[in-house]
Structure 1
Amino acid sequence: MRPTLRQLEYIVAVADTGQIGLAAAQLNVSQPSLSAQLSEVEADLGAPLFQRGRSGAKITPVGEDVVRRARQILHEHKDLRAAAQGGGIFQGRLRLGVLPSIGPYLLPGVVQRLHREHPHFRLIVREESTRDLDEGLRSGRLDMIISTPEDHPGAQSTHLFTEQLWAALALDHPLRSPQGTLPLNALSGQTLLTLGSGHRLSHIVAGLAASAGGRVSDEYEGTSLDAIRLMAATGAGVAILPSIYAATERRRGTDVRLHLINDPAASRALALVQPNLPQPRPGSDVLADVLQSEAARILAAPDGAISVQN
């Protein structure tokens, strides 16, 4: 049967690297052999998958669809073997995409536990914006993602937890309150700091600004939560931060005052999202449980000020 699974691996490797030579080295085959196999596949399918040139191998529109389907077939084959061996996703490699506003704070404990309990499991993590995560999931570049489920219609989502949003104020900001909470209308007239427009968080913050009568800064778009927190510390505005990051900051001591925004709209839901296959990938429920328990551990503040909703 052609293309063979090995040939599908060749196609995906060339698409990922953009270079036949690099793909050959990655797969430990000779470049002439890989090139010949690629030509054979294109002849069998009756269409060119790549445009070869001095600059590399550029994928064609037909090639994009073939590569997407090749990834899905390879994933299904890997799941078949994993199901037969009884370990599901933990029998091999999982490419997990995650929002940069959650990954560095949630995943360290998760990775440590998974490597301890599943020593042969290889987790590859990619931090990307919401838009790039969606592209990665649709193209097959990523196996699963941790993201806001409303941004990935048609995919399978397993709810993990809901984060509340916090306002980070400069230490001398007039809005600081001993109660530790702020009503949404307290942000009236304030400049809110958030991540760039490719992130769902920025859309949530824009909605909060509109409801409160504030404005989102058009002079500064943060590339990380650390960056917008530092800007808030200088008095440049009010940074809007999700709970897991806020909990991390509280524990290590911070240069801003954190106040929970007391409004139902000041929240975001996170989910484990995967392609819409007939059945979820074996073991994904175990991964979801580990993610949920680690989030609950991080958010279990001694004073109860930071909480998580499962």
Structure 2
Amino acid sequence: MRPTLRQLEYIVAVADTGQVGLAATRLNVSQPSLSAQLSEVESDLGTQLFQRGRAGAKITPVGEEVVRRARLILHEIQDLRVAARGGGIFQGRLRLGVLPSIGPYLLPGVARRLHREHPRFRLIVREESTRDLDEGLRSGRLDMIISTPEDHPGARRAHLFTEKLWVAVALDHPEFSTLTRVPLSALKGQTLLTLGAGHRLSHIVAGLAARAGGRVSDEYEGTSLDAIRLMAATGAGLAILPSIYAATELRRGTDVHLIALDEADAMRDLALVQPQLPAPRPGSDVLAEILQSEANRLLTI
């Protein structure tokens, strides 16, 4: 049957590295052999998958779809082998994409528990924006993601937890430094700091600003929650932060005053998202439970 599974591995490796030579090194084969196999696959399929030249191997539009399907086939084969051994995902590896506003705070405790309870499990984590997570899930580059469910229509989603939003202000802020809760109306005329436009959090903050009569800063877009917290500490504006991050800051001591935002829909939902296959990957329900348990622990503030 052609293309063979090994040939599918070849084309996925070339797509991942963008270089035939790098793909050959990764797969421990010679570059001439890999090039010959690529040519054979393209001949069998009757289409060009990559434009190869000195700059590397650039995937063609048809190649993108072939690679996407190749990833799904290889994942199914991996699942078949894992299912035969028993134990679901915990007998192999999982490429998990996660929002940078969640990963560094939620996953350390999760990783410790996974290592303790499932020592054969290999978790590979990629922190990416909402848009990149969606692309990774659709292309097969990622097996599952932790993200905001509304941004991934058509995928299988398991609700994990809901985060309220907090306001971070400079310790000497004249209006907010003594408050314990902030009504939405108090954001009127204020400059709000948030992540860049590729993140769902930025859209939530923009909606809150529009309703309150505030403005989202266009002078500074953070790439991390730490970055926007530091900007708030200098008095550059009010940082809007999700609960798990705020709870982490409160536990370790912080350079800002953190105040709960008193607004019913000032929140975001997080879900474990995977491709819409006939059935969820075996063991994904256990992973979801572990993520929920750690989130509940962190959110107790």
TM-score w.r.t. the length of structure 1 is 0.95
Partner of 1:131, secondary structure, is helix
Paired AA for residue 29 in structure 2:
V
Give secondary structure in 1 for the equivalent of 2:189.
coil
Aligned to 1:287: 287
Secondary structure, aligned partner of 2:251: helix
Name the counterpart of 2:254: 254
Q: Is the 8 A contact 1:92 1:120 kept in 2?
A: yes
Q: Structure 1 counterpart of 2:52, which letter? A: R
Residues 46-57 of structure 1 aligned to structure 2 (within 5 Å):
46-57=46-57
Quote the offset at 1:36 in angstroms: 1.3
Cross-structure match for 2:86:
86
Q: Is the 8 A contact 2:157 2:273 kept in 1?
A: yes
Shift of 1:161: 0.2
Question: What is the deviation of 1:174?
Answer: 2.4
1:46-96 deviation digits (Å, cap 9, x = unpaired): 111111111111111111110000000011111111112111111111111
- Once residues 29 and 196 of structure 1 are traced to their aligned partners in structure 2, the CA distance between those partners, rounded to angstroms, is 41
Corresponding residue of 2:276: 276
Q: Equivalent residue for 1:219? A: 219
| TM-aligned CA deviation for residue 177 of structure 1 | 5.8
TM-score between both structures, scaled by the size of structure 2: 0.98
Residue aligning to 1:110: 110
Equivalence for 1:63: 63
- CA–CA separation in structure 2 for the residues paired with 1:164 and 1:37: 52
RMSD: 1.0
Q: Output the CA distance in 1 between the equivalents of 2:119 and 2:224.
A: 31
C-alpha distance after superposition, 1:198-234 (max 9, x if no partner):
0000000001001111111111111110111011111
Unaligned runs of 5+ in 2: none
Q: How far did residue 273 of structure 1 move?
A: 0.6
* Aligned counterparts of 1:194 and 1:179: Cα–Cα separation in 2: 21
Runs of 4+ in 1 over 3 A off after TM superposition: none
Q: Does 1:37 align with 2:34?
A: no
- Contact 1:175–1:186 (CA<8 Å) still a contact in 2? no
Alpha-carbon distance in structure 2 between the residues aligned to 1:41 and 1:264: 55
The residue number in structure 2 matching 1:306 is: none
Task: Report deviation, 1:178.
Answer: 4.6
The corresponding residue for 2:195 is: 195
Partners of 2:208 and 2:47 in 1: CA distance:
50
Separation of aligned partners in 2, 1:68 and 1:6: 15
Give the drift of 1:24. Answer: 0.8
Matched, 1:96 2:96: yes
1:110-259 to structure 2, matched below 5 A, reads 110-176=110-176, 178=178, 180-259=180-259
Alpha-carbon offset, residue 251 of structure 1 = 0.5
Aligned residue in 2 for 1:72: 72
For 1:66, the aligned partner's letter is: V
2:264 corresponds to: 264
Contact 1:208–1:265 (Cα < 8 Å) also in 2: no
CA distance 1:179–1:218, shift in 2 (3 Å): closer
Which residue number corresponds to residue 304 of structure 1? none
Residue identity opposite 1:58 in structure 2: K
Partners of 1:85 and 1:259 in 2: CA distance: 49
Deviation per residue, 1:4-53 (Å, 9 max, x gap): 11111111001000111111110111111111111111111111111111
**Alignment partner of 1:231: what SS?**
helix
CA contact (8 A) 2:169 2:177 kept: no
